[in-house]
C-alpha cells in the first residue's frame, strides 16, 4: 500500500484500507458506524477498501461495505473495478456478489416510510398475527403441523445450537428449532407454559406478505410457539440435535444471536417471564388460567374485581425505562456513568425506570439529577429497544445539560465523567483501552455512536 503524508486524516484512511486488506470486519464496522465518509476513500494507487477486500478474498468485508452503500463502480489508476480485481484473482464467490448484490431483507411489516433507528432485539422474522390468538381451533391445528417451530426455554434460558461457520471459521449460535414431536410430552404437562409467537411465510420474506391476506390465507404460514419448562435436560434432545444446549450465562451470549432470532427471543422471553411471575391473581391471590394463546391470564375466583372491566394485571406487562445520553452544553462531550456491577472499566449512559404519572422528559431530568447532580434542559426522543431482562422497554433519549458539575449519588452510580469526542473515538478504536462502553447490541452504544457521528470532524 502506498505511503501517504503523515496527517491524521490520511493515517485514518490508510488504517481503514489496511483493515479491509486484512479482513478485519469488526474494526471496519466500528469505524463506519461513526465515519461513513471513509467508505469510498482511495490511496495513491486509486484503490478503495472494496478493492483490497476483493483482492484478498474477504467475503464478509465485501458484504459489509455493500450494505453500507459503497460505490462498486469506482476504478483505480489502472482502470480496474473491484469486480475486475475479484475475477482476476479467481474469487468467484466475491465476483458473483459484486455482480449481483443481494437487497436488504429487513423485515418491515407495518411501515414503509423512511428507515428508522434500528436496535438489537427490535427486528423479528415473524408476523405476530395477534388476531389469531383467540381462535383456539386455529391454534390447536397449527400446534401439530410438521412445519411448526417450537423454541424451548428452561428457566427462561433458550435452547440453542452451536455451529461452526465454514466461511469465517467462527462458532455461530442459533435457536434450536424443535418440532411438535420433540415437545409433545412437555405440552401435556399443565405446569409448562406455551405461547404463540406468530408466523412466517414459507419461502417469502416476512415483509413481503400483507397482514390482511396472511390472516385470511394459511397456505405457507409456519407458526412459531415458545415453551418454558423449569426442569428439562438438553440431553433429551441431543440425539436429534447433537450440539444443542441451554444458553448460559444469558448475557453476553444472548447478544450473539442474529438480529431476527434475537427479536423472537425478546418477545418470547418477556411473555414467558411474565407467566413465571404472575401465576396467581395480583388482585385477590387466587389461581389464574392462561388464555389468548399465552397473552392473557384470568382469575378463577368468580367475584374477583379483575374480572370486571379491563385490568392491566391480566396482560403481559412492559416496564418503561429511560436511557439517556447527556450532552455537555458545548456539544463536544457526553456524560457517562458507571455502576458497581459493570465489568471493570465500563461506562454507559444513565438510565432509570419511569415512575407512575411521570413523562419521559421528566423521568430523564429526575434520573440524571438524582444520579449525578447534573441538571438537564431539552430532552429529545431518539429510539427504543425491547430488553427481555425480563421485560423492559428502553426509551432512548438525548438530553442537553444546563449544568456541568458532577456529584454522584454513590448508590446507583459509583463514578460519572464527561468524555470528549476524541476520548470516545479512542475507546471505540483501541484494542486495549482501559475504558469501554457497552457492546454494539445495546441501545446505549447506539446513542453514543449517533452523537459521535453527528457533526463529527474526522
| 3-state SS, residue 170 | coil
**C-alpha distance from residue 167 to each of 100, 171, 259 (Å):** 19, 11, 19
First to last CA, the chain: 22
Q: What is the mean pLDDT of residues 439-445?
A: 95
Q: Are 142 and 198 in contact (CB under 8 A)?
A: no
**CATH numeric code, 8-99:** 1.25.40.20
Is the model's pLDDT at 307 over the cut of 80?
yes
Q: 10 Å Cβ neighbour count for 287? A: 11
Given this model, what pLDDT does residue 88 score? 81
Given this model, what pLDDT does residue 106 score? 39
**CATH numeric code, 130-277:** 3.90.79
Phi, psi of 126, rounded to the nearest 5 degrees: -115, 145
The crossing angle, in degrees rounded to 10, of helices 443-453 and 421-429 is: 120
Is the model's pLDDT at 19 over the cut of 50?
yes
Is the model's pLDDT at 92 over the cut of 90?
no
Domain boundaries, the chain: 8-99, 130-277, 319-453
Given this model, what pLDDT does residue 287 score? 93
Is the model's pLDDT at 153 over the cut of 60?
yes
177 CB-contact burial (10 Å; exposed 0-12 / middle 13-18 / buried 19+): middle
Q: pLDDT category, 201, cuts 50, 70, 90? A: low
Q: What is the mean pLDDT of residues 116-140?
A: 90
Given this model, what pLDDT does residue 203 score? 53
**Largest alpha-carbon pair distance within the chain?**
84
| Residue found by looking up cell 445495546 in the block | 442
Is the model's pLDDT at 213 over the cut of 60?
no
Given this model, what pLDDT does residue 274 score? 95
**CATH numeric code, 319-453:** 3.90.79.10
Return the H-helix or E-strand segment holding 214.
helix 211-216
Given this model, what pLDDT does residue 9 score? 76
Q: pLDDT category, 359, cuts 50, 70, 90? A: very high
Is the model's pLDDT at 458 over the cut of 80?
no
Q: pLDDT category, 208, cuts 50, 70, 90? A: very low
**C-alpha distance from residue 70 to each of 12, 91, 222, 377, 413 (Å):** 17, 19, 36, 39, 42
What is the 3-state composition of the chain as percent helix, strand, coil, each rounded to the nearest 5? 35, 20, 45
Report strand pairing: 415-420 vs 376-387. unpaired
Report strand pairing: 149-154 vs 221-229. parallel
Residue pLDDT, tens place only, 390-438: 999 999 999 999 999 999 988 889 999 999 999 999 999 888 899 999 9
Instruction: Judge if 8-99 and 130-277 fold alike in CATH terms.
Output: no
Q: Are 445 and 349 in contact (CB under 8 A)?
A: no
Q: For 22-36, 107-121, 163-177, 313-327, which range has the lowest pLDDT when averaged over its residues?
A: 107-121
CA angle 337, 340, 346 (to 5 degrees): 50
Half-sphere exposure of 356 toward its Cβ, with a 13 Å CA cutoff? Answer: 0
Q: pLDDT category, 116, cuts 50, 70, 90? A: low
Given this model, what pLDDT does residue 31 score? 84
pTM: 0.73
| Residue found by looking up cell 459493570 in the block | 342
Residue pLDDT, tens place only, 173-185: 999 999 999 999 9
Given this model, what pLDDT does residue 138 score? 95
Q: pLDDT category, 291, cuts 50, 70, 90? A: very high
Measured between alpha carbons, how far is 201 from 215 in angstroms, rounded to an integer?
Answer: 12
Mean of the per-residue pLDDT values for the chain?
A: 87
Phi, psi of 62, rounded to the nearest 5 degrees: -60, -45
Measured between alpha carbons, how far is 190 from 179 in angstroms, rounded to an integer?
Answer: 19
More confident residue, 113 or 147: 147
Residue pLDDT, tens place only, 227-252: 998 878 888 899 899 989 999 899 89
Q: pLDDT category, 108, cuts 50, 70, 90? A: very low
Q: pLDDT category, 226, cuts 50, 70, 90? A: very high
Amino acid at each position: 500500500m502506498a505511503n501517504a503524508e503523515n496527517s491524521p486524516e490520511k493515517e485514518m484512511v490508510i488504517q481503514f484500507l489496511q483493515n479491509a486488506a486484512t479482513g478485519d470486519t469488526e474494526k471496519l464496522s466500528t469505524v463506519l458506524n461513526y465515519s461513513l465518509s471513509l467508505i469510498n476513500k482511495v490511496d495513491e494507487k486509486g484503490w478503495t477498501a472494496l478493492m483490497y477486500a476483493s483482492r484478498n478474498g474477504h467475503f464478509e468485508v465485501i458484504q459489509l461495505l455493500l450494505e453500507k452503500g459503497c460505490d462498486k463502480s469506482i476504478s483505480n489508476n489502472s482502470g480496474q473495478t473491484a469486480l475486475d480485481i475479484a475475477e482476476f484473482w479467481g474469487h468467484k464467490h466475491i465476483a458473483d456478489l459484486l455482480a449481483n448484490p443481494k437487497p436488504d431483507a429487513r423485515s418491515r411489516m407495518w411501515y414503509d416510510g423512511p428507515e428508522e433507528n434500528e436496535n438489537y432485539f427490535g427486528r423479528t422474522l415473524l408476523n405476530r398475527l395477534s388476531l389469531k390468538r383467540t381462535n383456539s381451533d386455529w391454534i390447536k391445528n397449527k400446534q401439530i403441523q410438521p412445519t411448526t417451530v417450537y423454541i424451548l426455554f428452561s428457566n427462561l434460558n433458550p435452547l440453542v445450537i452451536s455451529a461452526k461457520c465454514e466461511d469465517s471459521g467462527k462458532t455461530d449460535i442459533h435457536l434450536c428449532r424443535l418440532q411438535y414431536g420433540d415437545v409433545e410430552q412437555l405440552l401435556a404437562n399443565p405446569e409448562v407454559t406455551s405461547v404463540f409467537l406468530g408466523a412466517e411465510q414459507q419461502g417469502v420474506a416476512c415483509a413481503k406478505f400483507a397482514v390482511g391476506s396472511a390472516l385470511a390465507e394459511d397456505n405457507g404460514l409456519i407458526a412459531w410457539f415458545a415453551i418454558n419448562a423449569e426442569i428439562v435436560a438438553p440431553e433429551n434432545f441431543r440425539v436429534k440435535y447433537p450440539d444443542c444446549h441451554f444458553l448460559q450465562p444469558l448475557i453476553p451470549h444472548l447478544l450473539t444471536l442474529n438480529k431476527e432470532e434475537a427479536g423472537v427471543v425478546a418477545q418470547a422471553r418477556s411473555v414467558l417471564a411474565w407467566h413465571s411471575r404472575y401465576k396467581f391473581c395480583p388482585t385477590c391471590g387466587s389461581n389464574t388460567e392462561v388464555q389468548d394463546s399465552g397473552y392473557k391470564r384470568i382469575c378463577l375466583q368468580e367475584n374477583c374485581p379483575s374480572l370486571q372491566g379491563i385490568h392491566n394485571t391480566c396482560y403481559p406487562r412492559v416496564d418503561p425505562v429511560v436511557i439517556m445520553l447527556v450532552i455537555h452544553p458545548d456539544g463536544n462531550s457526553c456524560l457517562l456513568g458507571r455502576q458497581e456491577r459493570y465489568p471493570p472499566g465500563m461506562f454507559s449512559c444513565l438510565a432509570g425506570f419511569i415512575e407512575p404519572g411521570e413523562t419521559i422528559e421528566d423521568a430523564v431530568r429526575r434520573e440524571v439529577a438524582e444520579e449525578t447532580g447534573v441538571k438537564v434542559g431539552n430532552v429529545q426522543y431518539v429510539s427504543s429497544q425491547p430488553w427481555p431482562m425480563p421485560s423492559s422497554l428502553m426509551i432512548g433519549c438525548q438530553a442537553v445539560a444546563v449544568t456541568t458539575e458532577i456529584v454522584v449519588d454513590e448508590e446507583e452510580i459509583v463514578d460519572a465523567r464527561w468524555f470528549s469526542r476524541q476520548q470516545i473515538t479512542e475507546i471505540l478504536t483501541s484494542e486495549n483501552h482501559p475504558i469501554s462502553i457497552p457492546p454494539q447490541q445495546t441501545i446505549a452504544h447506539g446513542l453514543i455512536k449517533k452523537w459521535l457521528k453527528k457533526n463529527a470532524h474526522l
